[in-house]
Structure 1
Amino acid sequence: MDRHLEELVNHVPAWLQSGGQDRDVAVASRVRLARNLERRRFPHRLETKEAREICVVARGKLEDYFDGGTVVEPASLGPAERDLLVERSLASRDLLDAPRPTLALFDRAESLGLMVNEEDHFRLQSLTRGFDLTGAWNQILPLGRALGEHFELARHRKYGYLTACPSNVGTGLRASLMLHLPALARVRKPLSQVLKTAQRSYLAVRGVHGEGSQALGHLYQISNQRTLGTDVSEQIQAVAEFGRQTMNFEREVRGAMLRDAGHKEQLIVDVQESHQLLKTAKKLTTAQALDALSMLRLAVLADLKEALDGSTFPPHKLLHLCFRLRPGHLQARLGSELGPEARDYSRAKEIRDALRIPFEEEA
């Protein structure tokens, strides 16, 4: 495995560390910008030589903006390394699977990143912990300005920045919030209301890795879909306002569950079952592990000490494990590619070691 990627495994990215605003629900905030070169074909139509030239020039002009970080050429990576980058939100599947030369750059804190020759020539990304879209926007601005200084970007006087996908034309901005919504996920009707309201507001609600991904561990991503006809501040504000409403809804549902004796009793039973699963399971799928961690985090936030047998689990550590226990991370830590069953055995042991949960044989 690439030495730089090996170092990622034991490093907690800045956006996953403790602290941050509204951290009981808001995991992270992200701002992404799509930009393209003037007088160049979009990446999916580039010849190999042309795509390679763009990678070389981009690296030469922009590498210094990533504070001694990492530069990755996806073509040289194996399956486990590719999984690791996706799980860390440092590269997309589209970038990694592209038939043309591509590039990923990111800083040491994993707060700032750039993908070259994905769907667009440049995809800039900024991540901050908790509820902080303004911070994410301010963090990405210097890189966005540098891109404009070093390259002539494709822009229409009326429509704004031009992109390979028409849905990104205009500002080229995607603002998103990663939220942990276990209480809403337990009560289907309120969650369905959130999804319908998002659609009416031109917002998308997906799994943490975007379109097509599952909301494992009750982790959801809310992002804007409209980039044309409104400016950056309006688009960020729309996501922030809906995110705030959703966070408050999650807290209201959490509180209502605790006030209702029947709901509280069932919640305690479900948390105890999740805790027991982690104690006794010899193997765990990703979904099983993340859902169990989500239940433990809900119990901690709801102060349900009676459900945890006196055990204490820092909420930020439970969040970190939701990413650390995914396939790419497990294989990177063990230094070898593993099949699904071997990963499941490793995951069960890893989660007990991390949370200091003693193994118990099933009765």
Structure 2
Amino acid sequence: MEAQALDKDLQKEHQEKIRKVISEVGKVVIGQEYMVNRLLVGLFTQGHILLEGVPGLAKTLTVNALADVLKLDFQRIQFTPDLLPADLVGTMIYNQQKAEFEVKKGPIFANLILADEVNRSPAKVQSALLEAMQEKTVSIGDTTYKLDRPFLVLATQNPIDQEGTYPLPEAQVDRFMLKVHVDYLSKDDELEVMRRISNMSFNPQLETILTKEDIFSIRNEINQVTVSESIEKYIIELVFATRNPLEYKLNDEAQYIQFGASPRASINLNLAAKAMAFFNERDYVLPEDVKEIADDVLNHRILLNYEAEADEVTTHDIIKTILSKINIAK
């Protein structure tokens, strides 16, 4: 009983630290609590995040601030058209003094990777990044190296600036746990941003809140969150509704869906819902947890056809309808 009480106390401590992380990042970034929350979901469930939004919405600044609050090794990689895979993972260099080749590791060897404007680099570079994300290893020469744990990739892309870009194929985008659409700030938040940035002396010092040990412990606690069989079946129904909309009487939506969500959607929706429950200080998942995170898990895994584009129907519209029509079994 004492051990269980101690675990509960530790969970409360970690949940308080999570709130502090969001608050600490808020010293630098205004009005992006939603984005910070989703970044933490990825961190604690070992899922990589794709951030999409127009320029100037503090995507890069938010990740930088989060890295300062977490005691993790951080690397920012600016993706450009001339970037090579070796610039990312590393290469073999010749040491003239020793007359032998040595390994020079690339910036991928860090805990937190910011892949800035990931769609500006060609397919070979994107593939090198996504291979590291999937396998958690990197091969240089004849040697394979394990990446440090925790390892999290936060990639950003701008949706409106397509000139000189190489859009990620749907199969590769599927490897991201969440695709978070970052929206414009409210008037009040943007007013506060303007005032802060206009103050030339504005330079807040961020406090380190979480260590690696905290992160591994929180991951274990989230893993202990209970998902009932009815919630599990609810998740499956939501995912299958994207694949077979006619079976779920989604007749209007069926004409727009070319491909539904992959099995990764079911896995990641389950994991993300557990994280949301933990953030809300519960050790069990409710349907509300699933609904809250469903759009971020599913929106990049549903491929729409040209008819949807012509009618200005988005994946967000499809997901919203599915959530409204699919009910959890009693």
TM-score by length of 2: 0.26
Give TM-score scaled by structure 1 length: 0.25
